[in-house]
Homo-oligomer: A and B are copies of this chain.
Amino acid sequence: MPRVLQEMETPALLLDEARMERNIERMRRQVERLGVAFRPHVKTNKCIEVARRMMTGPEGPITVSTLLEADYFAGHGVRDILYAVCIAPNKMDHVLALQARGVRMSIILDSVEAARLVAQRLAHAPAGIGVLIEIDADGHRSGVKPESPELLDIARTLEAGGVAVRGVMTHAGSSYDCRSAQALRAMAEQERRAVVLAAGRLRAAGMACPVVSVGATPTGLFAEHLEGVTELRAGVYVFFDLVMAGIGVCDVDDIALSVLATVIGHQREKGWTLLDAGWMAMSRDRGTSSQPLDQGYGLVCDLDGRPLQDYILVGANQEHGIMARRPGAGADTLQLRVGQQVRILPNHACSTAAQYGEYQVVRGGSQVRATWKRFSGW
């Protein structure tokens, strides 16, 4: 296996370990300051080597977005897993199998209908699976409104079926649309208030509701305090990406993930340099297209990870990336040669990483220090 970037076949997914460690340390300090438990989300990395550096202990806790993640991390010794997508009945056998392996599983739901199905299913199952109610803090996705009558209906349906409500959780996905530190702080406070209100209503109705969970990378990093909250969840912070940089959550040089690509040709009259990294290598994610600075399919850097002046992927085919100056930034003055390599920062770490089976770990420089396996799918 080649140990320097220059000898690698491309495209390949690079992970800058020094940047990752800095990102992890930033979140660690923030969690310490906030005084809450930390349950890192592993959906972005799907890799035990990365998750071990994020987790507060070898047995977790962690948050997952798929039960395949739960299987994998359970196989690596993690014993406390929150599956943070509302449960579908066809996944209950799988959850019970994980619990039977010795994992403390938590699931979420947001309707009386689901509460009834889950209570029925757990009636004859061993105790111990935690059920959290998802709260809608910002109208972004799923969850019940914290002030809604349905919140108590769901809780009572569970308790009537013999299932204690373990708590409430929310995810302020709208924080990805924020454009200032002030807006991020306000969104963090909105997220906190929503679950604290919901927990208060459940407790007033006589339920213990021990877990009060919030999280998203932007709100986690910008929260001023998390009074009443017991745990924080966040995942993308470990790598960051151009979307996070675009909303001001990180700087471009905090982005730990990049795609190594090679120049395969030119269309000089158009100012195009063709790379062997297209949308399959970058993913189809165009998350910066709605931001003030559209980064195309990714921001092009030199082999050391320093951005080339205003060069982005302006277009992409399946295995072709079209690199050019940003619209309005002038002509191509770089004139890269066929065979030269570049590194491309992704719009969205979760979707780009999902296209690869491994990370090539670097620490600045072009030496590959390790290869860490990752997985995708369900």
| Interface, chain A (partner B; CB < 8 A) | 7-12, 43, 65-67, 85-91, 94, 109-111, 113-114, 117, 136, 141-142, 173, 262-267, 274, 276, 279-281, 283-286, 317-320, 322, 337-339, 341, 348, 350-351, 354-357, 376-378
Q: Are A264 and B114 in contact (CB under 8 A)?
A: yes
Q: Are A276 and B376 in contact (CB under 8 A)?
A: no
Hey, which chain B residues are within 8 Å of A357, CB to CB? Answer: 376-377
Instruction: Give CA–CA (A263, B333) in the complex, Å.
Output: 52
Number of copies: 2
Q: Are A141 and B274 in contact (CB under 8 A)?
A: yes
Count chain B CB atoms within 10 A of each CB in A43, A87, A264, A356 and give the residue with the most: A264
Q: A173 is contacted by which of B7, B8, B88, B317 (Cβ under 8 Å)?
A: B317
Main secondary structure of the interface of A (DSSP, over half): loop
Q: Are A266 and B111 in contact (CB under 8 A)?
A: yes
Q: What is the distance, in angstroms, from A76's C-beta to the closest C-beta of chain B?
A: 20
Q: A378 is contacted by which of B11, B89, B110, B354 (Cβ under 8 Å)?
A: B11
Chain B residue at minimal CB-CB distance from A109? B265
A85/B264 contact (C-beta < 8 A), A67-B9, A90-B8, A317-B173 known: yes
Q: What is the distance, in angstroms, from A152's C-beta to the closest C-beta of chain B?
A: 17
Chain B residue at minimal CB-CB distance from A171? B317
Hey, which chain B residues are within 8 Å of A276, CB to CB? Answer: 85-86, 88
Hey, which chain B residues are within 8 Å of A88, CB to CB? Answer: 10, 262-264, 276, 338-339
Q: List 8 A-B contacts (CB under 8 A).
A: A9-B91, A9-B94, A10-B378, A86-B265, A90-B341, A111-B338, A281-B378, A318-B350
A320/B141 contact (C-beta < 8 A), A94-B9, A111-B338, A354-B355 known: yes
Instruction: Give CA–CA (A91, B284) in the complex, Å.
Output: 24
Hey, which chain B residues are within 8 Å of A318, CB to CB? Answer: 43, 65, 350-351
Instruction: Give CA–CA (A97, B271) in the complex, Å.
Output: 34
Instruction: Give CA–CA (A92, B215) in the complex, Å.
Output: 47
